Amino acid sequence: SVAEIRAGFAAIKANIQARDPIRTHSILSHPRSLHKVKSSDRCCITHHLFDFYVDKVFKHCKTEDSYVNRKISSIANSFLSVRRKLGQCHEQNQCMCGQESTEKFKQILANYEGLNVTSAAMKSLGELDILLDWMEKSR
Amino acid sequence: DALLPAPQNISILSTNMKHFLTWSPVIIQGETMRYSVEFQGEYEREYANESWIPISECSLITGTVCNITEDISATVAYNLRVRADAGARRSEWGTLKGLFNRITTSLTPPVLKVIADGYHLLVDLEDMGPAFQFLVLYWKKGQERRVQQKVVKEVRSVVHLDTMEAGADYCVRAQTYVEAINRSSSFSQTQCVRAQGDKSMWLV
Tens-digit pLDDT profile for residues A7-22: 999 999 999 999 988 8
Out of A32-41, A43-52, B17-26, B143-152, least confident range: A32-41
Give the mean pLDDT of B144-165. 93
Q: Mind spelling out the 3-state secondary structure of B21-54? A: EEEECCCCCCCCCEEEEEEECHHHHHHCCCCCEE
Minimum distance, in Å, between the CA of residue B73 and any CA atom of chain A: 6
Q: Supply the CATH classification number for the domain A2-137.
A: 1.20.1250.10
Minimum distance, in Å, between the CA of residue B158 and any CA atom of chain A: 25
Give the mean pLDDT of B97-125. 96
pTM: 0.89
Give pLDDT, residue B194.
Answer: 94
B178: alpha, beta or left, given left = phi > 0 and alpha = psi -120 to 50?
Answer: beta
pLDDT band (50, 70, 90) for residue B204: very low
Q: Does the pLDDT at position B203 exceed 50? A: no
Q: A85 or A51, which is more confident?
A: A51
B37, B45, B47: which to substitute to probe chain A, counting the most A Cβ within 10 Å?
A: B47
Please give the single-letter amino acid code of residue A127: E
Give the mean pLDDT of A124-128. 96
